[in-house]
Amino acid sequence: MRAVVVAHDPGDWFDETLESLSLQDYPHLSVTVIDAASCGVAAKVSRIIANATVIDAGAAVGFAHAANEILRSRVEEDYLLVCHDDVALAPDTVSTLVAEAQRSKAGVVGPKIVEWDQPKILQHAGYDVDRFAFPAERVASQDLDQEQHDGVSDVFALPSAVLLVRSSLFAQLGGFDAGMTFRGEDVDFCWRAQMAGSRVMFVGAAVARHREDLVSRTGVDDARRTKARHALRAMLVNHGRISLTLLLPLLALMSFMEVLLRVFTARFGAAGDVIGAWVWNLRRLRLIMRRRQVNARVRLVRQADVTALQYLGSLRLLSVLRRRSAQETIGRLGSGRSLFVGLRTGTSRWVWIAWIMVLGFVVFGSRRFITSGVPAVADFAALPDSGIDLLKQWWGGWSHRNGGAPSSNLGVVVYLGLLGAGIASMEMIRTFGLIMLIVAGLLGAYRLLAATGSRRAQVVALVAYLVLPLMPVSVSGGSLAGLVAYAVAPWLLAELLRASGAAPFRSSRTGSQRRFSAATSLGIVAGLAAMVVPAAAGLVLVIAAGLLAGSLLAGRPESTLRLALSVMLALPVFALLTLPTILDLLASGPDWAFVADGRNGSAGDVSFSEILRFAAGDDEAAWLVWLFAAPMVLPLLIGRGWRLEQAVRLWMVAITAWGLALAAQRGVLPFGLPDLQLLLAPAAAAAAGLCGMAVLSIEHDLRFNHFGWRQVLVPVTALASLLLVASSVTSLETGRWGLAEGDHHSALRFESPVLEGAYRVLWIGAPEFLPMEGHSFASEVAWGVSHGDSVTLLDRGVPFDPGSAELFESVIARVEQGGTARAGRLLSSLGVRYVVLLNRLASAPFSSATDARPIPANLAAGMSSQLDLELVEGTNSAVDMFVNTAWVPMRALYPPNFDAGITDFDDFESNRLPTGSALFSGEGPPWSAQIPEGVEILVSQTPRPGWRMTLQADDTVQPDGNDSNITVTRRQALAWTQAFQPVSGGVVELSYAPPWWRKAGQVIGAATPLMLALVWLRRRVSR
Amino acid sequence: MMRSLRLIALFGIAGLITAGVLIDLPDRPRSNSADRYLPSMAAPVAAVNTWFCPGGSGPSGPAELTILISNASDEPRSVEVSVLSGGSDAGDPVSQTVDLLPRGQALVRPSDAAPDVSWVGAIVETRSHDLIVEQILTAQQAGLGRSLCLTRVADSWVVSNGATRAAVEGERFVLMLLNPFPDVAVADIELTADVGRDSLEGLVIPAQRVVAVDVTDEVTVAATVAAFINVASGRLAVSWIQIADGPEAGSGIRTAPAAPGTAQLWHLPVSGVGPGRRDIVAVSNPSANEIAEVDLEILAEDPAVRVSPIELTVRAGRTALVDLSEQARLAGIGSFSLAARSLNAVAVTASITSVTVNSTVEDQPAEDDLAEGPGLAAVGADVDSVAGSAATSGADGASRLWLVPVETSERELSATTSASGALTIVNPSASGIVEATISVDGEVLHTVEIGPRRSRVLQLGPMGETVRRDRFTVAVDASSPVIVGRELLGLTSRSASLGAAVEEPISVETIR
């Protein structure tokens, strides 16, 4: 037996290393010290071990290279004990290792390695290695040595700190891979040893202490870099051709993803290391090929038999995703194993099973969405064809709603655009975005009761939130507001409960920290919701009001102030996220249409019974929703302490939401409110929370009562819950959560605006049926205007700027009152080519006639009575579509003073506007086109400042060849809009430039989520 | 403590939910967006009105169309007249702007814009409610037929009483279908005659075209024929033309709008009995299988007169005719109007035609009685013989304000030089007394009180003399909704029609 100690300018501890070798109880141990730094350790060695030999390997680079120096000398011993210079062996380590090596005929054995200063803390117990040569410790960080690893086991690799190797094997393998300076050489060596048919074994009974402080000794923190390089090298040299062909593309993909993640989290150094690993190995491709040839010669075992010992999956990806440092990777496999252990025992099993089933439920229920996409029913408007288009329109700052109005699009548009431009198709983004809203809500429901510490309660809240009919009702009704509210309501409820500071939601942090943290989270959740559906921010007030009432009812008034303060503190973050909207609001003044979505406060059709059942309708399955009463009431009946108090709070949240919904449906409010599903979302979150509270009450409180009626409630509640879960299966039937299979666009045929000229479409119908947020016109009738032949997400929101909305409304009113027979002429001046009256949510046969809410007869008859609106016969029974025979393109060339004599909008009734030549037909602004001389250009947009046309006339080319653009004069036209008067022919460009503050708001609004995400990620990583 | 909290919470929550249930018990307030009542008669109540004149023929046809536009205001007005001609393809209306002087009239001959067409109609668009549009048809033989144009379109129409005895009575019955819209209309016409039934199915009325259906070609030798027009696609404006020249049917031309729908109560303000006069009330029941029990009520002018109603039973899809000249109960009761009331809630339509054959007016009214004459039997003080025919559709609505264009001389439309007429105002209320002010050019000429379910007849001739004009527009301003009709009586023709309601009319069924 020869101990080979590779020393590299060791410190004082080296004495202890040498002493430990000298004190070994193994009788035939010789010691060779390889001086890798030519630092003169010979004297020190000879002082402690007189017969030790010292080899000067000053030219060697790295541990592997230095260790291989032993091969130059004559080795007669059967075993080599390769050691670092910072280990100290227990006296029986060598003998134990040798005994085990001989007993199990192992080629490589290694001891249990503990911390140098804290021998009770485990440092290494061998490595598990995945197929990408990435090692993972078999012990957790700071794992206490409780003899749990004292057995003998096969492992894939052992750390090179202390390795007992058969000398013949070491020589056969050519020692370590000298190309691997530090880190990774041990994995490579053990891999090759196994290829050569040797076992690699961990011997827990043998112990060595290890300093493992290479970074401070070298002064260079290159651990991450060298690990990445050497892992890739080991993989490249040791895998067979087939497995390498399969694994290399996968590794490349994972590396790409890791780079993206690192860049996103501002870890540019880490991203560089990943890229550098590939570059480093590609540069050494010839060496790698050579080593592959060498390895092929030593291979005695089938590749499959070796890789079977490797970890299936990517330990590296796992570590990246879990955002832990390389150091914390220690224990990775251990924690992974604990999860699997958890699957076999304990509550973790229930959590995993529940989540798998819940996600399976969601995926199966959404299967038609995944395979066929989401129909553009009601709020589920399509996205533009490309992400670039979306980004352009976002940056343009102009909305085509209201006849054109300045509007800052919300920041979410940017992210959708970036996703569409960079990764996926817009349709895919839309589909998965919708599904992710569902998952986000479920995740929120699961976390709602996390503070209680009961996994069972969390799981029950999760399942209850899934089983509640709110989500299917929202989806089937095409209510994006309802779905967004479903996604955020449990999060908002959780944050507000945290902000209330009531047990068990008290945080361990100090008061101000807790308040700041809760308020920030609250602002973020509310802001993110408002970025999609602004009205969803109002849920904060609904939930807070419910919690306030609940706190008072529970006799805990002290939390009311905390709640109010948190809501106030949340405002800055919320304001940052919704800055574009706030700036619009300040610039244009409030417009309740923004919130009411086309409702005017008139009574609806949903009864209080249906409201209590989350608008589930009246079919048989819907009546089973009443069974939720059992688990919801249980904590009130048997709960004690904070369970009872929180149950009261949650009940009051539910009642507040139900009350608000009832007020809206009764028509007692002087203003309209958003979708019913949005109003009911807090009640659903509270109901899910109450179901979880029922479990907590059973767990904690039932035992305090003697046997009686309370105990009987438990099986009753369980039975009710089972029935509810069973009944929820009906929602899976369609694979679309009941959403119509097709939308109105499948029935409507619009001419191409590119070919025929730009136009608008006037949509009139029930607010729930419109493909956009509408303006209220009458009871349950709203209207909206879209631009071109499709309605996209950008058409959805109502801008605060009223634009020319009153003109559209006045025309509709005249039609309804029989005040005109020439609505087509009036609408033509507004660029409206089509009028669509929606009687149902979707076209037939995708919607039932029984669900129709026809346009009021007066309005429908009025439309039919127009002499210049042509009803398109046979369109669909769900819609009435009119073509405006008096239509003229919104943007067109006209002779000068084409609108002479029109001084009032009403003049169009008796003066039909002549048809001009269509211009600027594509998406915009901006647009450009060649025009002839002596024309005016009509641009039917609300004439707000910022519109500008420049002319690059043929005769404006300067002698030096430079062009100079002339700003074209603008005048009012058609009594409401604008026309431009170019002085000559040439190329004109029409653009809209929003004011700087609006753009700044957009940028800040868009950047804030990114910044918050970065801060959050950094904090998570740091933690 | 815990127990009290639990009880408070339970009762509090239960109480709040119970309160919600109780709050939701009453019916919910609904918006009062009830369907707007669309009257059968002309009702230019909006600031902008469109008049549909289903029309007549070109100059070479049997009933040449002339449009008469009357301006009842003190302001000059302009109207846009679009001429729609017959044809098989989509039309391209010829439009012209017509200017009217204050209180002035304008005659438009559509055939000037479309000289070569057989049939022609018109759309007149006005930007005020004080312009009245009439269509005047001049028969080739002799006589004028005139009626107010329509202010609405509909998808079902009923014409109750026509005749096609071409050989014996020289009768020709033509339905005029006007499609003012830019899309094609398709109509099915069912003809029910005393000689049998026939139908025209899938009749295409091209966009912005007029189609004339000569029923004489479809149902020959029928003493009475009703037409039920169902517009399967689109909507139409419909009127009818009846030409006659025979010993029984009389001589002349009459035209009236078809009834655009059914109702349970119709008022026929212009009616009468007298020597040589034969008024026939036609009540049609378009329903598929319900029998209508209808009372024809007599609303006499004389408060002292009480006449029992005439009871009718109208089978499904049939028309019942009542010849007033054969009703002994009407003899000597003075002037009256009629109301057709369905007793069993089966909706019907009602209209009246009046034929006068070589009658001689013997009972000349005294000078003092001219203003409030005894009735149509005595109308036409200067006329020895008034031959011709008239037709009036029923009114299913009443209004407080009416405009009635009047012509006391037919000089521009015929060779006759003298004419007269009467205005009939009906109070449909069963309980209220109506005070009505009759004015011309803003000058109040009469103020009359009309008792419940009574009518009042006023002579038009003296009004013309008062304002010293042959053509003028009478304004009726009543304290409660009334129905106003007119009859114009010339030497060579008679015509009758309802006035134009210029304040939002209400259904007479709702008047108590």
Tens digits of per-residue pLDDT, A63-122?
Answer: 888 898 888 888 888 899 999 989 999 999 999 999 999 998 999 999 999 998 888 999
Where do runs of H (alpha helix) occur along A397-479? 412-422, 426-448, 455-467, 470-476
Q: Do B48 and A814 touch (CB under 8 A)?
A: yes
How confident is the model over A155-173, as pLDDT tens digits?
Answer: 999 999 999 999 999 999 9
Whether the per-residue pLDDT at A470 is higher than 90: the answer is yes
Cβ pair A988, A982 in contact under 8 A: yes
Residue A367 has a pLDDT of 93
Q: What is the mean pLDDT of residues A919-923?
A: 81
Whether the per-residue pLDDT at A342 is higher than 50: the answer is no
pLDDT band with cut points at 50, 70 and 90 for residue A510? low
Q: All domains of chain A, ordered by start, with CATH? A: 1-345 (3.90.550.10), 349-375+425-732 (no CATH), 744-884 (no CATH), 891-992 (no CATH)
- Alpha carbons A93 and A24: distance in angstroms, whole number: 7
CA atoms within a 13 Å half-sphere pointing along the CA-CB vector of A639: 29
How confident is the model over A696-714, as pLDDT tens digits?
Answer: 998 888 777 767 777 788 8
How confident is the model over A633-647, as pLDDT tens digits?
Answer: 999 999 888 899 999
What is the count of residue pairs from A and B with beta carbons less than 8 Å apart? 122
C-alpha distances in angstroms, A1002 versus A420, A422, A574, A995?
A: 19, 21, 14, 11
Max mean pLDDT among A300-304, A334-338, A844-848, B96-100 falls in B96-100
Residue A506 has a pLDDT of 72
Computed over every residue of chain A, the mean pLDDT equals 86
Residue A337 has a pLDDT of 46
pLDDT band with cut points at 50, 70 and 90 for residue A508? low
Residue A926 has a pLDDT of 87
Nearest CA in chain B to A552: B9
Residue A414 has a pLDDT of 86
Residues of chain A with pLDDT > 70: what percent? 93
Contacts of A880 in chain B (CB under 8 A): none
Q: Which residue has the higher pLDDT, A102 or B369?
A: A102
Q: Do B30 and A644 touch (CB under 8 A)?
A: no
User: Best mutation site among A825, A867, A873 for testing chain B: the one with the most B CBs within 10 Å?
Assistant: A867
Residue A646 has a pLDDT of 93
Q: Is B46 on the interface with A (CB under 8 A)?
A: yes
Query: How does DSSP classify residue B376?
Result: G
Name the minimum distance, in Å, from the CA of B49 to any CA of chain A.
7
**Does the N-terminal peptide bond of residue A845 adopt cis geometry, omega within 30 degrees of 0?**
yes
Whether the per-residue pLDDT at B32 is higher than 80: the answer is no
Q: What is the mean pLDDT of residues A421-426?
A: 78
Q: Which residue has the higher pLDDT, A887 or A257?
A: A887
Q: What is the mean pLDDT of residues A296-324?
A: 74
Residue A838 has a pLDDT of 93
Q: Is B8 on the interface with A (CB under 8 A)?
A: yes
Residue A336 has a pLDDT of 45
How confident is the model over A587-636, as pLDDT tens digits?
Answer: 888 778 778 888 888 888 899 999 999 887 767 677 888 999 999 999 99
How confident is the model over A984-1000, as pLDDT tens digits?
Answer: 888 999 999 999 998 89
Whether the per-residue pLDDT at B83 is higher than 80: the answer is yes
- Alpha carbons A157 and A128: distance in angstroms, whole number: 7
From the list A454, A430, A562, the residue with the least C-alpha distance to A504 is: A454
Name the minimum distance, in Å, from the CA of B254 to any CA of chain A.
28
Give pairs for A899-906: CB < 8 Å, separation 24+: A899/A973, A899/A974, A899/A975, A899/A979, A902/A974, A902/A975, A903/A975, A904/A975, A905/A807, A905/A810, A905/A826, A905/A829, A905/A974, A905/A975, A905/A976
pLDDT band with cut points at 50, 70 and 90 for residue B481? very high
Q: What is the mean pLDDT of residues B449-468?
A: 87
Nearest CA in chain B to A668: B29
pLDDT band with cut points at 50, 70 and 90 for residue A358? very high
Name the minimum distance, in Å, from the CA of B468 to any CA of chain A.
34
Pairing mode, strands A106-115 and A199-210:
parallel
Residue B491 has a pLDDT of 67
Contacts of A818 in chain B (CB under 8 A): 36, 45-46
- Alpha carbons B488 and A178: distance in angstroms, whole number: 123
pLDDT band with cut points at 50, 70 and 90 for residue A501? confident
A204 φ, ψ (degrees, to nearest 5): -70, -20
How confident is the model over A946-963, as pLDDT tens digits?
Answer: 999 999 866 555 555 555
Whether the per-residue pLDDT at B323 is higher than 80: the answer is yes
A307 CA to centre of own chain: 34
Residue A158 has a pLDDT of 93
Whether the per-residue pLDDT at A459 is higher than 60: the answer is yes
Q: What is the mean pLDDT of residues A967-984?
A: 91
Phi-psi region of A402 (alpha: psi -120 to 50; beta: other; left: phi over 0): left
Q: What is the mean pLDDT of residues A320-344?
A: 44
Q: Is A854 helix (H, G, I), strand (E, B) or coil?
A: coil
Whether the per-residue pLDDT at A302 is higher than 90: the answer is no
Residue A963 has a pLDDT of 57
Whether the per-residue pLDDT at A762 is higher than 60: the answer is yes
Cβ pair A964, A995 in contact under 8 A: no
Q: What is the mean pLDDT of residues B30-49?
A: 75
Whether the per-residue pLDDT at A415 is higher than 80: the answer is yes
Residue B349 has a pLDDT of 94
Q: What is the mean pLDDT of residues A323-339?
A: 42
Q: Do B183 and A640 touch (CB under 8 A)?
A: no
What is the number of other CB atoms lying within 10 angstroms of the CB of residue A1016?
14
Of B35, B127, B182, the CB nearest to A868: B182
Q: What is the mean pLDDT of residues A472-498?
A: 94
Q: Residues with Cβ < 8 Å from A131, sequence gap 6 or more?
A: A235, A239, A243, A247, A307, A310, A311, A312
pLDDT band with cut points at 50, 70 and 90 for residue A41? confident
Whether the per-residue pLDDT at A578 is higher than 80: the answer is yes
Range of lowest pLDDT (A333-337, A828-832, A876-880, A1006-1010): A333-337
Helix axes A285-298, A185-195, angle to 10 degrees: 40
What is the number of other CB atoms lying within 10 angstroms of the CB of residue B503?
15
Whether the per-residue pLDDT at A401 is higher than 80: the answer is yes
Q: Do B33 and A778 touch (CB under 8 A)?
A: yes
Q: Is B88 on the interface with A (CB under 8 A)?
A: no
Whether the per-residue pLDDT at B29 is higher than 70: the answer is no
Q: Do A553 and B47 touch (CB under 8 A)?
A: no
Whether the per-residue pLDDT at B368 is higher than 60: the answer is no
Name the minimum distance, in Å, from the CA of B181 to any CA of chain A.
5
Of A637, A647, A871, the CB nearest to B183: A871
Nearest CA in chain B to A779: B31
In this prediction, the answer to ipTM > 0.90 reads no
Quote the pTM value: 0.73
Name the minimum distance, in Å, from the CA of B50 to any CA of chain A.
7
What is the number of other CB atoms lying within 10 angstroms of the CB of residue A396?
20
Burial class for A159, CB neighbours closer than 10 Å (0-12, 13-18, 19+)? buried
Q: Do A885 and B33 touch (CB under 8 A)?
A: no
From the list A979, A974, A944, A969, the residue with the least C-alpha distance to A832 is: A974
pLDDT band with cut points at 50, 70 and 90 for residue A328? very low
User: Best mutation site among A556, A611, A648, A701 for testing chain B: the one with the most B CBs within 10 Å?
Assistant: A648
Q: What is the mean pLDDT of residues A773-800?
A: 87
Range of lowest pLDDT (A74-78, A199-203, A512-516, B349-353): A512-516
Query: What is the Rg, in whole angstroms, of the alpha carbon atoms belonging to chain A?
Result: 37
pLDDT band with cut points at 50, 70 and 90 for residue A562? confident
Max mean pLDDT among B144-148, B192-196, B265-269 falls in B265-269
Whether the per-residue pLDDT at B31 is higher than 80: the answer is no
Q: What is the mean pLDDT of residues A667-675?
A: 90
Whether the per-residue pLDDT at A320 is higher than 80: the answer is no
Q: What is the mean pLDDT of residues B132-153?
A: 88
Q: What is the mean pLDDT of residues A413-419?
A: 87
pLDDT band with cut points at 50, 70 and 90 for residue B60? confident
